[in-house]
Structure 1
């Protein structure tokens, strides 16, 4: 099994809890520990030793952290490429032999599942994937009890939960240590005041900022539903966010994995990504900084258009460039003028299409933004009903 999630979300804790639940032993290691040997023979020996230790202790769980550190053979380049290829191949051999040992379960963890060699995730290897999300409100409430104080009032817990969105279990554990350290220095018992004082600075999403986020997310939702990019699960505008930790809102579409994606599917995703920014321009009369920058909607749309062009032969030319990361895609746009021009052409076309959809559904976007601004959340069914009512009214 492969478990993934952001740093500090509890991947290692998950493996330990799994071992306790199954009443088995656990052999815990990491790719970093294997690579500490340096030379190839030492690395391969450390890998084999971990697998053999697990077999000797079965029933047992072998937990390998930072599995992405092994790398993907498709992205390995440079003077040490043969070294890394041998490491990956040896791990694949160990996993293939390992599955024959009944009573031993391999659990690997990563922050970056997309960086793992596809061969390691094929059927019979790490083919079962569990993604661990950031703690929701219920989980953060439990983390308050575990790491802060068990006797906090409901009012204090509710306040802490509302101010810790985007924080991980590791963040709560660190906060608990900080609170106890401050209490020892002040020679007092840990109090709700000390806990609230240890919280990271937060940004309140209210007023004009909240309206902007609501319009932006409503634009994503309506454009995406109009184009059928996937099933809309929910649209959310947060009340507060920890500064620099998370976005002020999000629109969650679930793509149908059983459906093979064609060119129009990718173009629809690009238009959906641009829909938030265009909703700001059409409805608010201006655009705000949240749509741009690293990791933004604009970067995602640009990378997707580049990926279509250079790897999927879905552009104006037929050809292939190897690009395995956002940095690779950006380098291609920067270094190959023809790629940059074709990507810009796709983006401008989808920009115009998304604008037309926003203008067509402007009243629905405003109505959805009103709901988000007031309530903070709308389900996909809510948005679908809004759009279907408009469709009936237009007939």
Structure 2
């Protein structure tokens, strides 16, 4: 990649960084992507995919496979704490996951495809909304336009701090966990705080549930993890005992089936404790992610691309504990999600001082391009 192209993509990334939008609200980000691509000769542009999602289609002269390259539009509800000239201009929102950099990479891939189109088949560049909440991939796939871009292969990357810059982290099979946000509601009965025996406070049950939930994985045969992330007991009223409580937890496992079994055990546990204290117990779920599973054939293309570029490759043995909604594409296509090291001294993802390193942009473009060369030329 020449310096002028890198500067163009870097400037674009910094603009995206300054104007972050949360999941489901990516209207202006989508407009900026469309503006960037207005002079790029694509064959088809699809908008409003799963919300504000956009797909650009490049068609070859001959029939062939369809491959899709995906990045994310959304940012996080985190106040940025950085000393950089392109600091977020939107209070309480920031691109501290690096989605701005991922968008720059896929935009750079679009510039490269404009210069050298695929010989055969079809290449789709997908700018997907709402990855952070786990809703975006589902909305895109279930939308009426997905059949027009449904790929044989789908590829994505995520920058990974605390690994060498430009290092490729790759694995067959399970790569990132399945997870679900579990909301447990306990209902008892209020009373005057001078007469607590007249009511039925869920305080003890809530405390037991918090401790028991995090110990639950000890009974599981396969890896699982429960992290209690929030709890609320009653209201701030010193004359009243609490009548309701809420506990929220994130449940994780390397496979969808294990996550679902963990949910089943967690519900049973909460119901038993609720019964012990004569409480009503109900459940809700949010931010549900499928496990990200890498297909062996898609893995071969990614591994070969990294080898051709002479990049350092780390063959990951244990799946990552974080979740990615790209896993849903695995149900419809042969998929590969790989990591791209963003520096050993780089702050972790979702930390308030994270900023995507622009030097990764050419590397990301080149890896995807080498995959395209194998599939479409």
**TM-score normalised by L of structure 2:** 0.28
**Structure showing greater relative contact order (alpha-carbon pairs closer than 8 Å, 6 or more residues apart):** 2
Higher share of residues assigned strand: 2
Q: Rg bigger for which structure? A: 1
**TM-score normalised by L of structure 1:** 0.27
